Amino acid sequence: GAVVSQHPSRVICKSGTSVKIECRSLDFQATTMFWYRQFPKKSLMLMATSNEGSKATYEQGVEKDKFLINHASLTLSTLTVTSAHPEDSSFYICSARDSGGLVSYEQYFGPGTRLTVT
Amino acid sequence: KQEVTQIPAALSVPEGENLVLNCSFTDSAIYNLQWFRQDPGKGLTSLLLIQSSQREQTSGRLNASLDKSSGRSTLYIAASQPGDSATYLCAGQGGATNKLIFGTGTLLAVQP
């Protein structure tokens, strides 16, 4: 149980275009999801906390107008990278917290999405 | 502000050796400490989660300990295998923000 999927797994886009990444909890409901970014050979950096039905909370230094987050249902959160530039190229990973789990704070991670902006 | 660091940054050992990975955190007010494995280009696999009331957790050849007072956690891998080669990340959750803060990672290579 506790599976989180991400789509797409890889995406290549041209500079100036927008890209949407989906994060789904497949077998549980998640009122809270998290979006992380990982540069090559670096650790994960939390970008934002996504709460179902409300606005996301962004970490310091993360542009909310650049990285649009929508959490419209208990099983789906989306991250849209708007007007992407080559410096946005990175590995994006989401995680979800099981709302009904016994361990309420445990996060389950998706497989990640590799974004390359040319 | 919670900061998590891991030592060493990289480690290479021959197959069969026992090894210890270290994780230190600055804020002792954590709910839990979690160890993950990440293979190249892949997502995270949760290995062990230690709640703040616990001192250690074991799963197979893996044993993780937590010492909140000293701000340290260790991941012990017994009888290492080439398949254990990966990046190992520790992450602390809790304190004022209740967020998961990741360490810098240890890149482990187990030589056959």
pLDDT of residue B28: 78
Report chain B residues whose CB lies below 8 A from the CB of A44: 44, 89, 91, 102
Q: What is the pLDDT of residues B13-50, one digit of tens each?
A: 999 999 999 999 988 788 889 999 999 888 899 999 99
Closest-CA residue of chain A to B94: A105
pLDDT higher than 90, residue A97: no
Closest-CA residue of chain A to B39: A111
Bridging pattern class, strands B62-67 and B72-77 = antiparallel
Spatial distance between the Cα atoms of B81 and B96, rounded to a whole number of angstroms: 39
Spatial distance between the Cα atoms of B89 and A38, rounded to a whole number of angstroms: 12
pLDDT of residue A41: 80
Closest-CA residue of chain A to B105: A43
Cβ separation A109–B49 shorter than 8 A: no
pLDDT of residue B11: 95
Determine the distance in angstroms separating the CA of A8 from the nearest CA of chain B, rounded to an integer. Answer: 13
Q: How confident is the model at residue A33 (pLDDT cuts 50, 70, 90)?
A: very high
Find out whether B111 and B82 touch, Cβ atoms under 8 Å: yes
Question: Once rounded to an integer, what is the mean pLDDT over residues B50-55?
Answer: 88
Closest-CA residue of chain B to A3: B45
DSSP A34: E
With H, G, I as helix, E, B as strand and everything else as coil, classify residue A50: strand
Q: Identify which of B43, B93, B105 has the shortest CB distance to residue A105.
A: B93
Q: How confident is the model at residue B65 (pLDDT cuts 50, 70, 90)?
A: very high
Determine the distance in angstroms separating the CA of A25 from the nearest CA of chain B, rounded to an integer. Answer: 15
pLDDT higher than 70, residue A86: yes
Amino acid letter, residue B82: P
Question: Once rounded to an integer, what is the mean pLDDT over residues B37-65?
Answer: 92
Report chain B residues whose CB lies below 8 A from the CB of A1: none
pLDDT mean across residues, chain A? 91
Question: Once rounded to an integer, what is the mean pLDDT over residues B70-86?
Answer: 96
pLDDT of residue A65: 95
Candidates B60, B45, B89, B95; CA nearest to A108 is B45
Q: How confident is the model at residue A54 (pLDDT cuts 50, 70, 90)?
A: confident
Beta strands across the sheet bearing B4-7: B4-7, B19-25, B72-77, B62-67, B56-59
pLDDT of residue A107: 83
Report chain A residues whose CB lies below 8 A from the CB of B34: 106
pLDDT higher than 80, residue A1: no
Q: Kindly state the tokens that stand for A114.
A: 């590799």
Query: Which distant-in-sequence residues (6+ apart) come within 8 Å of A32 by Cβ?
Result: A49, A50, A51, A52, A96, A97, A99
Tell me what percent of the residues of chain A surpass a pLDDT of 70. 93
Spatial distance between the Cα atoms of B37 and B62, rounded to a whole number of angstroms: 12
pLDDT mean across residues, chain B? 91
Q: How confident is the model at residue A51 (pLDDT cuts 50, 70, 90)?
A: confident
Query: Which uninterrupted H or E stretch holds A20?
Result: strand A19-25
Spatial distance between the Cα atoms of A7 and A1, rounded to a whole number of angstroms: 19
Q: Identify which of A34, A45, A111 has the shortest CB distance to residue B43.
A: A111
